[in-house]
Structure 1
Amino acid sequence: MDAFRPLSKKQIEVLEAQTRYEHVWSSNAIEGNTLNKYETTSILQTGLTSQGTPIKDVLETLDLNDAYNYMMDLVSRKQPLSQRVIRDLNRFVTAKTAKDMTASGRYRAISVWPNGLQEHPFVDPFDIQPAMDDLITWSNNAQGQLHPVLYAADLHQKFVSIHPFEDGNGRTARLLMNMALTQAGYPIVNIQPDVQERTAYMTALETSRVSGDLTPFETIIANYSEAALEKRIKTLALNEKNIDDADQDFDR
């Protein structure tokens, strides 16, 4: 990427906004939000909704947009990962939609499990605090030792396996993963919510949690990251070509 001339400030702003809209749409859709990408973009750009749009879906869109902006602010300030950062991200994610508003950013006191998998519950409530302590300790060591994409994928997987909050764990996990990727200079990764991609993503998460083998999930995130890098390089290459073509026409 460094071999190409950088995009203009305006181009960067447009691409960053498009990436944010896609993240808000895709991450919410994975959790069951019914808005499509164009409806999500309209809400965030103009504040307008189509007739019959569920209020909850709109509020989730506004919440995750705020959480994304907060995540990017953390990156700009080079904020290290901490439990306070994680709690604050979850507070943003669930600010207007939590079933219990007092529960936002607070570790759960009840047992939870994936749908239909009561025999494989997430971390017991009494073990959440030490598990989160261990996560931060692991992060402090792993961030400088693992490849950035592997670190981001493992951070996501380990956090979801704990499932510390009553709501918003998946959206918080994807923000944490992208915070790690962006801090390392990698593009944002947006997991696609179509049936095939969502199933592969959720299956790899659960398989890695039960078996302890993170490879399937790491592979999915690595593939997404590689695709995002290739798309960024193609954009830079096209921009360079457009600049050269314009310069040649001007010289004639």
Structure 2
Amino acid sequence: MEYGQKLAVITNLKNKMDTYRPLSPLEVKQLEQNIRIEHVWSSAAIEGNTMTEAETAEILNGGLGATIHGKTIKETLEIINLNEAYDYMQNLAIKKQPIRNEDIRNLNRIATLTTIQPQEEAGKYRNIDVYPYGSESRPYAHFYEIPEKMQQLQAWSNEAQDKLHPVQYATDLHQKFVTIHPFKDGNGRTARLLMNLVLTENGYPVVNVNPSKPAREQYMKALAVSQQPNNDPQPFRNLIADYVETELKNRILSLQYAKKNEEEAQKDFKNSQLDWDKLQKEYEASKKKQQSKPTDSQAKLTKNCAEQQNRKKQGLDHDDGLEL
């Protein structure tokens, strides 16, 4: 399928998702927490963090008080830092303002604050050259080019946000940022946060790259191809588009399931209301019948009175009282 067709499919899925009634606040809270955990876990795992998703959830739910057996303090701190950077990304998405280099530096600073040495390097542009893995002959942007290239990235971003499909804009921003690799550490985590910042502020679900070995290799290879001299971004665009499409389909299924549950609950409530109304009517009818029907004592008294009246008429009744 051509990339333009992929984007058209994604747009249709997004529009379909928007037609469903939103989840309840409780459901939204649970879903957002699950997505947050998955993002923090997967993004850290891609960079070599060995925490499992369950261990990541334990840390995020327990904070610094959670200790995971066999894991380093650095790995725990990476999880906590990335969780806080995720919060910052979400707050930026709410504002829906053009992306500034200051925001990018803040994302990186928060994501690496307690793990980078020295700490002052967090959020600062690097002052040495670094190389892609397996490409030691060709560095990322030279350190002295970074300020200018980041200004160019910001200018491109401000223009692209109004011209490109949100998914393409998010993908290209990710790719262009990683190609510059402006920071000493945390560039991949920052790039994935930037991508999801764009997706979130445009109403798309957060997309998390699968950190399994085959999926990670596919992700890294597609990125590497986009950074070659011929600069072919299409494999990476197609990969992220597939992730977005899958996530939209999953979200629609979730909304459909929630709608079905709500309809069944309303149906059950309506049926129970009908049953209750029926019981009420039966009770009122029974009560009315009981009120119109004399009790045993009332029936006996009525019978005795009738017999006395009948005996008097026949002259059989006499006064048994004492004479004075």
Q: TM-score if structure 1 supplies the norm length? A: 0.98
CA drift of 1:114 comes to 1.4
Q: Does 1:238 align with 2:241?
A: no
Describe how 1:1-252 pairs up with structure 2 within 5 A: 1-47=17-63, 48-210=66-228, 211-252=230-271
Distance 2:78 2:168 in 1: 29
Distance 2:133 2:251 in 1: 36
Distance 2:79 2:110 in 1: 11
Q: Which has the higher helix share?
A: 2
CA drift of 1:50 comes to 2.5
Deviations 1:65-122 (A, max 9, x none): 0000011011112232011000000000101001221111111110001122111210
CA drift of 1:5 comes to 1.6
Paired positions, count: 252
Deviations 1:124-170 (A, max 9, x none): 11111111111001001111111100000000000000000000000
Structure number, greater radius of gyration: 2
8 Å Cα contact 1:21-1:37 kept in structure 2: yes
5+ residue gaps in structure 1? none
8 Å Cα contact 1:156-1:174 kept in structure 2: yes
5+ residue gaps in structure 2? 1-16, 272-324
Distance 1:202 1:120 in 2: 16
8 Å Cα contact 1:39-1:49 kept in structure 2: no
**Helix, strand or coil: the match of 1:143?**
helix
Distance 2:256 2:116 in 1: 44
**Helix, strand or coil: the match of 1:144?**
helix
Q: Stretches of 4+ moved more than 6 A in 1?
A: none
CA drift of 1:25 comes to 0.3
How high is the sequence identity, in percent, across the aligned residues? 49
Report the AA paired with residue 188 of structure 2. G
**Helix, strand or coil: the match of 2:227?**
helix
